[in-house]
Amino acid sequence: MNYITRDDVLDLHMCAIERYGGRLGIRSQDRLLAAVTAPRQVMFGTELYPDLASKTAALGFMLLKNRPFHAGNEATALLAMLRMLTINTYRLNPDFSRRLAPQLRGVLHSRLERDDLTNWLSDELVEMERVS
């Protein structure tokens, strides 16, 4: 399993701010680190997020809910999730990011929980494997 790093997320944040505008900068290093390390969490020797869908959903969920940046948290979460899937060999079509964005808005507005995002993402990844 390949993971994105804090520096990767910072690069994605900078890209999001340059592209869409907003205030560049970190509001909370602790919140950023919590989001970046979430996919790797282990409890009692067992991974909390055992597969790519759950790890990617945990990353996106934590970036959205923790809001570690002054601005651009939503765009950064979207880019981070896309990057995590890409570095783990998923070839994403352009339509996928358009389907992911409403899911992230649902999380942001508390209509969806992390498990809902995980289930949706898991179904999407299965569909991508079928098409490949």
Dump pLDDT digits (tens) for 50-101. Answer: 999 999 999 999 999 999 999 999 999 999 999 999 999 888 887 898 999 9
For residues 128 and 93, give the distance between their C-alpha atoms in angstroms, rounded to a whole number: 9
Q: Which domain holds residue 22?
A: 6-131
CATH number for the domain spanning 54: value is 1.20.120.1870
pLDDT > 80? residue 128: no
The reply to whether 46 falls in a domain is yes
| CA proximity to 5, closest of 80, 68, 61 | 80
118, part of any domain:
yes
Q: Please report, as a single letter, which amino acid is at residue 52.
A: L
Could you say which DSSP state residue 27 is in?
A: S
Measure the CA–CA gap between 115 and 30, rounded to whole angstroms.
23
Q: Determine, yes or no, domain membership for 10.
A: yes
Q: Hunting for tokens 């959903």 — which residue is that?
A: 57
Confidence of residue 28 (pLDDT cuts 50, 70, 90): very high
Instruction: Tell me the C-alpha distance between 108 and 32, whole Å.
Output: 16
Residue 26 lies in a domain: yes
Residue 1: inside a domain = no
Domain count, the chain: 1
